[in-house]
Amino acid sequence: MNRITFTLNKANIESAFLFWGLIFTLKPGYIYENIVLNNIFRVGVVMSLIIALFLSVKYWKIIYDKEIVFLLMIKGITIIFTIFNKGDLRELIYSTVTLWLECVLLVYCLKKKKDGLIILNGVYAVIVYINFFCMLIFPKGLYNFGGERVYTFVGHANSVIMFTFPLMVISLLCIERGVYKNLSKMNLLVVLLSTFLIGSATGLVVYSVFLICVVGLRFKNSVYSHLLFKFYLLVLVVIVGIVFFKIQHYFGFLIKSILQRKADFTGREYYWKLTIDAIMKKPLGHGYVEGVHRVGGLGSHNYLLEALYEGGVFMLALYTQWVYMVSKKINVMRNNNMGKFVLAAMISLILIGITESVIVDSNWFVVFVIALCLKSSRIRNE
């Protein structure tokens, strides 16, 4: 059993700065609703920026792998598209800066810090536990009352996944490495309880797929080469079938009986149609536009449509190339137990793209960044 001890030295001070730096890259929805907390968070973000700038200058060779650079380049191109199309530039820049902060702090933490996984475990555990207790104390939510959705500390139902799922993956990696096993097991319990309490059908599907993948990969001695990229292409084909040919209606009885949802994916077909109409009007892309500023008042609720909406086929090709680069990077780790964990996690996250505009949420990329650091000796030999 690991005992949590703390000694004031240079390494622990650095870990504390990284901990708080990462905390302020993960902004729960409730923070926007509270002026005091929002102002505190803004100061924290400035601190994160200072830390990230320092690390970027001193350790740029370690931090900026080609996959990280390519991802940030895609966001930079999205900014250009947004400027030309007069989209929501402010929100996009904030999201891009947040993604950059996450990449810098995560990569440094995992590649240079011996306790990198433990730091990440603590960061996500703090937010997920606060959210969990808020759900117990305020079952009707913390804000945005009167709607169909319950808004907890981190946001609505599907927002919870973007915090709980990385914690699940990090906890499993800690258990695999034999560090903070009891805490990590408790994390897994809280993650599952949080998902059931919030009633997220998407979350239940993601965790079910993750569990199936983990079990399947663990008992398979040799994993197929580039399985991540092959699954990604399969999901794109499925999305085309669902969005354009509505194949889900042939299996409506299964969707209703298993997920307790209608075959229209709780009204998403309506927003898919609106997004397709918008794409047809501007095939080269609109840049980033917040969901509330689009026709219908919500986003595309689909990865493929969101990529086409922001930058047309060109943007979709860029994201596809990035997934291929990630797949190629982790391919050598596919038969390692830790590699199998993150491979199963990324497959599950790609699946979310069927019903969510995942590329607009910087938190969606976290597990992919962790996977890119998997070959680091710090992670494997903690």
Q: What is the pLDDT of residue 279?
A: 95
Residue 4 in domain: no
Considering its fold, how many domains does the chain have in total? Answer: 1
Q: What is the pLDDT of residue 253?
A: 63
Q: What is the pLDDT of residue 149?
A: 75
Coil, strand, or helix at residue 143?
A: strand
Residue 167 in domain: yes
Residue 2 in domain: no
Low-confidence ranges of the chain (pLDDT < 50): 382
Q: Cα angle vertex 125, ends 122, 130, to 5°?
A: 130
Q: What is the pLDDT of residue 254?
A: 62
Q: Is 88 left (phi over 0), alpha (psi -120 to 50) or beta?
A: beta
Q: What is the pLDDT of residue 157?
A: 77
- Are 301 and 356 in contact, with CB atoms under 8 Å apart? yes
Coil, strand, or helix at residue 108?
A: helix
Residue 19 in domain: yes
Query: Rg of the chain over CA atoms, in angstroms?
Result: 20
Residue 172 in domain: yes
Residue 240 in domain: yes
Which DSSP state fits 225? T
Tokens standing for residue 273: 């149609």
Rounded to an integer, what distance in angstroms lies between the CA atom of residue 106 and that of residue 342? Answer: 15
Which DSSP state fits 152? -
- Cβ neighbours of residue 283 closer than 8 Å, sequence gap 6 or more: 312, 313
For 280, half-sphere exposure in the C-beta direction (CA atoms, 13 angstrom radius) is 6
Q: Identify any residues that bridge with 151 across adjacent strands, giving them in sequence order.
A: 143
Residue 143 in domain: yes
Rounded to an integer, what distance in angstroms lies between the CA atom of residue 369 and that of residue 364? Answer: 10
DSSP H helix total and E strand total for the chain: 17, 0
Q: What is the pLDDT of residue 278?
A: 94
Give the pTM.
0.91
b/e string for 179-212 if b means 16 or more Cβ within 10 A?
Answer: bbeebbeebeebbeebbebbebbbbbbbbebbee
- Residue the block writes with tokens 């399985």: 227
Q: What is the pLDDT of residue 143?
A: 84
Tokens standing for residue 179: 């560090």
Q: What is the pLDDT of residue 136?
A: 93
One-letter amino acid of 99: L
Q: What is the pLDDT of residue 298?
A: 81
Q: What is the pLDDT of residue 382?
A: 47
Residue 373 in domain: yes
Q: What is the pLDDT of residue 236?
A: 96
Q: How many other CB atoms are there within 10 angstroms of residue 104's CB atom? A: 27
Q: What is the pLDDT of residue 346?
A: 95
Q: Which domain holds residue 359?
A: 10-380
